[in-house]
Structure formats: C-alpha cells, structure tokens
Amino acid sequence: MEQPLAPIRNAMTVDLEDWFSVYNLNQAIRREDWAACELRVVASATRLLDMFDRHKVRATFFVLGYIAERVPEIVREVAARGHEIATHGYSHAVLTEMQPKEFDRDMTRTLEILRGTCGITGEIIGFRAPSFTIVKSTFWALDILARHGIKYDSSVFPIGFHPDYGIVDAPLVPYKITPEITEFPLSVIEVFGKRLPCSGGAYFRIFPYLYFKYAIRKVNAAARPFVFYVHPWEVDPNQPYLKISLGKRFRHYYNLGKTEKRLDRLLSDFRFTTMREVLGL
C-alpha cells in the first residue's frame, strides 16, 4: 500500500527587532533617538522562544544588528535554544533609501556584532531586508550579500499593490535569484488571478485566522513550503502607543493582544522549522 506523503515542513521566521525599530514609526521616532526608547525585546522574544519550545519548533531569527549590540544576551539565548541566526541588517534602513557602500558597511557592522559581541560561531547564511525592500531597483544588494557569505535571502514579496515593496511577477517557490543566492519568497496565494499576501505580520493580525489556515493548506497543496514571519513586538500589546497616521496606526497596533493566541494555534495546526532546513542548506 502506498504510504501517504509526510506533511510539508514550513518555515517559521522572526524578525528580531524592537517596537521602535519599525518602519511605520520612523516619522515618530528618529534613529538617533532609539537609545532613549524603552527596550522591550528581551521579554517579548522570550515569550516567543517559550512558545516555540512548547511546540518543539525551531525557527530562523533575522536579527537586527542594533538589537544584538544592545542586548546580545537574547541573541545568545536564541542560539542556545537551537534556532537559526540570520541577519536583518544593522540599522533597519530600507534598501530603497540606501547606497551600495552604505549597505556594505551596514552588513559588515551587523555580522561583526553577531560573531563578536554575541559569540555566534556557526555560519550566518540568511538575510531579510527591512520592510522586504529587495525589489528590482535594489538587486545591486544581492552581490554585496554574496560577498558577505549570504546564501539565501527572504525579502521578495511577490505582490504588486504595496507602495514600499513587492515584485509582482516573482516566482512563488524558492529559486536562484543569482547564481550564489537562493531567494525564499514570502508566501502568497492566487485567487482569480490576483496574488494575496498571507505570510504573517500585520496580515496575520488583520485577516481572520481561518484565512491563514486556508492559505497555508493551499500553498502546501501546491507542494510549496509556506513562509511565516512575526516580530517580538507583535506579542507585546502593552508597548508605548504613538500618535501616527491612521493607516500606520492600524497596521502597527491592530489586534496585538490576539497575536500570541493565534500563533499558538498556528504552531499546533502546522509543522514548522528553520529556513535553512527547509532549503537544505
């Protein structure tokens, strides 16, 4: 008798940054003022780590260099619990507002912090651009990533409606974006010829849970691994509340109090592991 196929293992990822690092808040909090902001990432990241432990899930943490420099102990804890350490750059500057030399310095600085200050000894081969800003105009960044030893990127969002990111005609499966780098795109589903986002973040908080359950099943039915992402601040409903535009306020604060419960349910319903393991790197 033919054995049923094992369930597809999907990629669980965490963008390890704090509440004040978010692009949506950059008009309310300048980077030079970050040092004066309350650090809340250790407590919120620990909540995620404890949840992953309960579900026996290993994840990929895309670590912001600024956070690693301020609180290296949380990065060491992530690694000690068996999760993959990848990089999110140092300053959370979007690539669409950077020049190649600036980005190269940003990468050099964050990798030195991860390997030196945090003591990460294993290979660091994954990267995610802040706000998913590997777009067609920033493909120059891929050669820089390769020079820093990066083997895979997870920054391309295959959608066309977002004002800050997206490549509408990008493949939906992992693919070689350059000879040296594999792109593991954020997950979308196609409905009536339109691509709809379903990877996590604000989408996970705004859309009903059943939509995500349907989307993951649809992606897996097409033999594609699903990519999910979350930020520690999304399980921190008590973070400072800033006066920002209505649209940004909605995207940042909506349903923060429900994220943890929804994520716990997601981890029960589907299988997840690190990006590196899914890609076999």
pLDDT in tens, 116-142: 999 999 899 999 999 999 999 999 999
User: How many residues does the structure list for the chain?
Assistant: 281
Other beta carbons less than 10 A from residue 174's beta carbon: 20
- Residue 139 Cα distances to 50, 177, 257, 258, angstroms: 37, 9, 37, 36
pLDDT at residue number 4: 41
Tell me which residue of 168, 181, 95 sits closest to 138, measured CA to CA: 95
- Residue 56 Cα distances to 23, 44, 81, 246, 279, angstroms: 31, 18, 10, 38, 19
Q: What is the 3-state secondary structure (H, E, C) of the chain?
A: CCCCCCCCCEEEEEEECCHHHCHHHCCCCCHHHHHHCCCCHHHHHHHHHHHHHHHCCCCEEEECHHHHHHCHHHHHHHHHCCCEEEECCCCCCCHHHCCHHHHHHHHHHHHHHHHHHCCCCCCCCEECCHHHCCCHHHCHHHHHHHHCCCCEECCCCCCCCCCCCCCCCCCCCCEECCCCCEECCCCEEEECCEEEECCEHHHHHHCCHHHHHHHHHHHHHCCCCCEEEECHHHHCCCCCCCCCCHHHHHHHHCCHHHHHHHHHHHHHHCCEECHHHHHCC
Spell out, as residue ranges, where the chain has pLDDT lower than 50.
1-5
- 177 and 166 Cβ atoms separated by less than 8 Å: no
pLDDT at residue number 1: 40
pLDDT at residue number 248: 87
pLDDT at residue number 7: 66
What's the half-sphere exposure (Cβ side, CA atoms, 13 Å) at 198? 25
Other beta carbons less than 10 A from residue 30's beta carbon: 9
- Residue 194 Cα distances to 55, 79, 241, angstroms: 34, 39, 34
**CATH code given to domain 10-279:** 3.20.20.370
| Category of 192 on φ-ψ map: left (φ > 0), alpha (ψ -120 to 50) or beta | left
- Residue 21 Cα distances to 33, 35, 64, 111, angstroms: 11, 11, 9, 18
pLDDT tens digits for range 52-92:
999 999 999 999 999 999 999 999 999 999 999 999 999 99
Per domain, the residue ranges of the chain are 10-279
